[in-house]
Structure 1
């Protein structure tokens, strides 16, 4: 896979996109002044390839661009557009993808819609690169998670940002980020061809087989341990079961087989019922009867109280009637006064406003009261009879309550025996539980033989897989392939006359250090012990050029491009405005670096693409042919940059 074009789209969608074209299979140089956006090209390409958390600058690019699109081509001449919108916040999962033939080009701005996501983009891109469906499984016991190998790891080999290319402590893109060192160590053997899904699957199966072997060993050890414990504790359980009545006719000294049989008998023995069902039912009946009798007794007491109140009220009423009749009987002593005019006062003979009752009226009232008194006296015998009936009923209920209490007392007297029986049942249940646990843990001789056979099978399977994994020897195969890469690294390091290269027998990549090391007769020299940023950049260049040359020759599933940002920074003052105007720089060495880049591209015969963003602008013809953009002011002073000037209006 190589890059054909990078496009930036304005947010309003009305302005034409800013398109930067690349030449596949060639050296591409983007030169220009500082602060023109050259370094952001690498960051944008990395983002379009599916990086989840982009490192896009918060400047004019973020303020003006709405979408980023990358056009790539593959070995079969098919093409693919990878586009992503400006991230809203720290990241975005949205994406746009389109595939096609050799005629596919950068899409129009109105065609950009989110028709995919980052996961799908990575998956399709990985498949087109030829990355196998490879789920990397860390070694058994490793404190890291498994992951799918994809373009995410392959892209780490294709970028060298301005800070990375001069770093003497790290060789690869994003190597200093958390987790990246281990990801590179895990996947570099695969990308070199030293390991693949088959080896990873065998290692995974070996880990599972070793876990199964350990599990089989534990089960056998547990069975043997419990069998030994049964020999010591089984007889004690038999004696306990015998003491609780679960066993009878126990031999004085039973052997192991007899102990197991006796324990099975004890487990099958049923304990005595804690409380007979009919006894519990009778107690419930008596309690229900006692509750009903108490309710009846309360009803009788309430009725008797009502009768007593009735009698008291009747006696008070008849007493009052007797008193009034006795007073009215004095009217019988009247003579002629009976005919007195009651409308005239007998003292003053004056007419009365309200006439007094006549003697006749009072006599009628007396007769009425006497009749009422006679009726009231006839009710007294009825009340007495009703009270006697209530008292009789109450006495009957009281007697029944007494009998009920006596029967309950007799039942309660048996509670102690029931409690003793329940306690015995608890002891029996406890013993049977211990027996059940002992029998469950203790296997028979046939069970132990089966566990031994399982262990032997697990050991054989683990040994077979271990032999296959040893034959793979991924580490040794990786070192052999790195040694092939070291041939080119050594020759090119000597060509550039890098520090220490003249005395080195080999310049190589160390998988353990993930850095360049020099092997000399006097010992190994890592890049961290070599001075000068010029040497650090030079060794980064030869390492990545040799690595990609190896990948291309062996048709490995890694993108066929390398992006370099500011590879000549060590030769100029910090952040030069325009390096081409600096007279005292080591232009011979700069020329040698670019000449090596051009020669390596030619060596790979179109299979390898290099894209360089730099301040340098050499006059050599081959350099000028490689320039795809010169972002310096033209003759009229108009400045060219990644973001067009008309976007800033």
Structure 2
């Protein structure tokens, strides 16, 4: 699979697309100034191959392009994938066409959404020759199984600007969640070290090991039940005795009597008695409330009678006192005739108010005597009423004491009932355990133990057979052997580019565990993370991916036959560069050596490998100019870029 061309369709429905065509089986160079869209070419190709979440810039592509299309070649057949401009963070809509060598880009008014990314990936995977490979992670792994497809193969075909100069990661999107593990899981397959057969055997081995463990547990449980039956039965007999289900259980129980004793304990009734009705308690509580109210009311009435008695005694006492004082006037004898009550008898002076006459005082004394006699006649009535109230209050108090005694008896009865219920519940629980033990003992027989033992032997034999097959596969060792073949290309190419530490290294290879380049030296392994300079990081990325694709091509592995590189010479120019052709002091010899290696690898593939490079560099050598497919620098005073100037007008 190689790329024939890439097309962009304007959002306004123009019929003719913007097309960038590539040469098959050769080095393709797309050069130009900064901010002309070179880096977006890789993202567009990745999107058209079925990626759901594109990484396209907001301007000016998003404002002008409505459709993206990619035309790919599979020898004598072609496939067209068209994706609409994503309206959000992701989209799965697509258009797919297949045909012979005459298939080309349609007109803008012919674009229709009739498919999705799953169809793109399934058809590309089938045409690449990716087998129906459902990857099963190792037993106990937390990650889920997945189908190997173009989605994993494409990760080996791209190097973005920030990835090709990354000393900590070798592959496309390796730093994203889940991608690193996906590459580790599928790289052995793409190298040819693993396939569906090995994955199936590993999956079957995991199932066989689980079946073996289950058979082992079943046999151990059955053996423990058989060996511990008598011990558990005796323990249950002791519990039954403690709860009154059995009596006089011997200290040493004859095993032959155990079933009889268990049946005896099981036959004892353990019905739970019911507590006293709740309405009896409620009636006593209601009666107690009424009696307390009566007792309180009688107490209040007694207090009122006592206050009346005290007030009556005070009143009659005052009457006695005043009456006694008035009676002393009788000692003076009758009043003298002619006495003037308005004149003082001692000093003969007129009084402000006349003194009462003797007749008035005598009348007052008579009235007080009548009132005193009347008050004294009421006292016996009050005393009788008080005695009646006291008798009623005492009766109410006695009934309250009786009520309290009845409530205490009822509470004590309930407590005894609860204790009895607890005992009966414990007895019922023990009887349940006895019934369970009798059932388990009856279900387990010597034949059952023998059958479980045979099942375990069969499971062990199955697991051993599969383990031998998996050991013969030895995917890890086979992957390392094939990576050694890849290292046979990497090592001389790294020395050719004069990369750091390459001359002293015995071997330059890819580490599957680290997913990075490592150098094997007499002093020990040296990872790329411990080698300085962006020049070296980019160089080792180049030789690693060129070697991998050379190996894929020679061994006919199902990986697309193209490699896209973005800014492989960025380490030789300033960080913010407009046009590399204007830089005079760059290491142009090293830049040339990088492109010469790319040219030589493409040429040596005999048309089997397509290399597409997007870069600032524009070398004057004839072979470089022949490899140019696009040069996005101003021409005739007009802007030249991925998005045509008239699209922006």
Q: Which residue of the partner structure matches residue 23 of structure 2?
A: 23
2:7 and 2:17 in contact (8 A); partners too: yes
1:29 and 1:613 in contact (8 A); partners too: yes
Q: What is the rounded CA distance, in whole Å, between the counterparts of 2:454 and 2:597 in structure 1?
A: 64
Query: Taking structure 1 as reference, are residues 422 and 577 closer, same or farther at Cα in structure 2, changes over 3 Å only?
Result: closer
Q: Which residue of the partner structure matches residue 522 of structure 2?
A: 521
2:28 and 2:612 in contact (8 A); partners too: yes
Deviation at 1:113, TM superposition (A): 1.9
The aligned runs of 1:242-253 (5 Å cut-off) are none
1:151-183 CA distances to partner (integer Å, 9 max, x unpaired)? 111111000001111111111001111222111
Q: What is the rounded CA distance, in whole Å, between the counterparts of 2:519 and 2:104 in structure 1?
A: 45
Query: Taking structure 1 as reference, are residues 521 and 421 closer, same or farther at Cα in structure 2, changes over 3 Å only?
Result: closer
Q: Which residue of the partner structure matches residue 224 of structure 1?
A: 223
2:270 and 2:425 in contact (8 A); partners too: no
The aligned runs of 1:25-174 (5 Å cut-off) are 25-75=25-75, 77-174=76-173
Q: What is the rounded CA distance, in whole Å, between the counterparts of 2:238 and 2:525 in structure 1?
A: 75
The aligned runs of 1:549-564 (5 Å cut-off) are 549-564=550-565
Q: Which residue of the partner structure matches residue 543 of structure 2?
A: 542
1:377-435 CA distances to partner (integer Å, 9 max, x unpaired)? xxxxxxxxxxxxxxxxxxxxxxxxxxxxxxxxxxxxxxxxx999999986775344212
How does the TM-score come out when normalised to structure 2?
Answer: 0.73
The aligned runs of 1:172-211 (5 Å cut-off) are 172-211=171-210
Deviation at 1:261, TM superposition (A): 7.4
Q: What is the rounded CA distance, in whole Å, between the counterparts of 2:548 and 2:83 in structure 1?
A: 29
Query: Taking structure 1 as reference, are residues 261 and 125 closer, same or farther at Cα in structure 2, changes over 3 Å only?
Result: farther
Q: What is the rounded CA distance, in whole Å, between the counterparts of 1:630 and 1:257 in structure 2?
A: 101
Deviation at 1:64, TM superposition (A): 0.8
SS at structure 2 position matched to 1:106: coil
Q: What is the rounded CA distance, in whole Å, between the counterparts of 1:423 and 1:161 in structure 2?
A: 76
1:446-495 CA distances to partner (integer Å, 9 max, x unpaired)? 22222222222222222221111111110000000000000000111111
Q: Which runs of 5+ in 2 are unaligned?
A: 274-416
Q: What is the rounded CA distance, in whole Å, between the counterparts of 1:420 and 1:515 in structure 2?
A: 75
Q: What is the rounded CA distance, in whole Å, between the counterparts of 1:458 and 1:595 in structure 2?
A: 59
Q: What is the rounded CA distance, in whole Å, between the counterparts of 1:264 and 1:125 in structure 2?
A: 73
1:340-394 CA distances to partner (integer Å, 9 max, x unpaired)? xxxxxxxxxxxxxxxxxxxxxxxxxxxxxxxxxxxxxxxxxxxxxxxxxxxxxxx
Query: Taking structure 1 as reference, are residues 258 and 57 closer, same or farther at Cα in structure 2, changes over 3 Å only?
Result: farther
Q: What is the rounded CA distance, in whole Å, between the counterparts of 2:255 and 2:448 in structure 1?
A: 16
1:37 and 1:642 in contact (8 A); partners too: yes
1:4 and 1:23 in contact (8 A); partners too: yes
Q: Which residue of the partner structure matches residue 234 of structure 1?
A: 233
Q: What is the rounded CA distance, in whole Å, between the counterparts of 1:444 and 1:122 in structure 2?
A: 57
SS at structure 1 position matched to 2:69: strand
Q: Which residue of the partner structure matches residue 627 of structure 1?
A: 628
Query: Taking structure 1 as reference, are residues 591 and 420 closer, same or farther at Cα in structure 2, changes over 3 Å only?
Result: closer
1:112-157 CA distances to partner (integer Å, 9 max, x unpaired)? 2221112222122112111111111111222222211111111110
2:270 and 2:428 in contact (8 A); partners too: no
Q: Which residue of the partner structure matches residue 11 of structure 2?
A: 11
Q: CA RMSD in A?
A: 2.9
Q: What is the rounded CA distance, in whole Å, between the counterparts of 1:424 and 1:586 in structure 2?
A: 96
Q: What is the rounded CA distance, in whole Å, between the counterparts of 1:570 and 1:105 in structure 2?
A: 38
Q: What is the rounded CA distance, in whole Å, between the counterparts of 2:418 and 2:233 in structure 1?
A: 29
Q: Which residue of the partner structure matches residue 454 of structure 1?
A: 455
Q: Which residue of the partner structure matches residue 531 of structure 1?
A: 532
Q: What is the rounded CA distance, in whole Å, between the counterparts of 1:640 and 1:72 in structure 2?
A: 25
1:280-309 CA distances to partner (integer Å, 9 max, x unpaired)? xxxxxxxxxxxxxxxxxxxxxxxxxxxxxx
Q: Which residue of the partner structure matches residue 392 of structure 2?
A: none
Q: What is the rounded CA distance, in whole Å, between the counterparts of 1:450 and 1:263 in structure 2?
A: 29
Which range is displaced more, 231-240 or 516-525? 231-240
The aligned runs of 1:597-636 (5 Å cut-off) are 597-634=598-635, 636=636
1:430-449 CA distances to partner (integer Å, 9 max, x unpaired)? 34421233245553322222
Q: What is the rounded CA distance, in whole Å, between the counterparts of 1:270 and 1:105 in structure 2?
A: 92
SS at structure 2 position matched to 1:177: coil
Q: What is the rounded CA distance, in whole Å, between the counterparts of 2:426 and 2:522 in structure 1?
A: 82
How does the TM-score come out when normalised to structure 1?
Answer: 0.73
Q: What is the rounded CA distance, in whole Å, between the counterparts of 2:37 and 2:541 in structure 1?
A: 23
2:638 and 2:645 in contact (8 A); partners too: no
Q: What is the rounded CA distance, in whole Å, between the counterparts of 2:211 and 2:134 in structure 1?
A: 21
1:518-567 CA distances to partner (integer Å, 9 max, x unpaired)? 11122211111111111111111010000000001111111110000011
Q: Which residue of the partner structure matches residue 310 of structure 1?
A: none
Q: Which residue of the partner structure matches residue 575 of structure 2?
A: 574
1:223 and 1:441 in contact (8 A); partners too: no
Q: Which residue of the partner structure matches residue 2 of structure 1?
A: 2
1:78 and 1:100 in contact (8 A); partners too: yes
1:271 and 1:425 in contact (8 A); partners too: no
Query: Taking structure 1 as reference, are residues 440 and 59 closer, same or farther at Cα in structure 2, changes over 3 Å only?
Result: farther
Q: What is the rounded CA distance, in whole Å, between the counterparts of 1:617 and 1:35 in structure 2?
A: 16
2:43 and 2:54 in contact (8 A); partners too: yes
Q: What is the rounded CA distance, in whole Å, between the counterparts of 2:240 and 2:31 in structure 1?
A: 95
The aligned runs of 1:451-530 (5 Å cut-off) are 451-530=452-531
Deviation at 1:631, TM superposition (A): 0.9
Q: What is the rounded CA distance, in whole Å, between the counterparts of 2:640 and 2:526 in structure 1?
A: 44
Q: Which residue of the partner structure matches residue 375 of structure 2?
A: none
Q: Which residue of the partner structure matches residue 639 of structure 2?
A: 639
Q: What is the rounded CA distance, in whole Å, between the counterparts of 1:261 and 1:159 in structure 2?
A: 81
The aligned runs of 1:219-368 (5 Å cut-off) are 219-237=218-236, 256=255, 259=258, 263=262
Deviation at 1:504, TM superposition (A): 1.1
1:238-272 CA distances to partner (integer Å, 9 max, x unpaired)? 577799999999999765566457757977x6969
Query: Taking structure 1 as reference, are residues 423 and 625 closer, same or farther at Cα in structure 2, changes over 3 Å only?
Result: closer
1:22 and 1:628 in contact (8 A); partners too: yes
Query: Taking structure 1 as reference, are residues 440 and 588 closer, same or farther at Cα in structure 2, changes over 3 Å only?
Result: farther
Q: What is the rounded CA distance, in whole Å, between the counterparts of 2:234 and 2:639 in structure 1?
A: 100
Q: What is the rounded CA distance, in whole Å, between the counterparts of 1:260 and 1:111 in structure 2?
A: 87
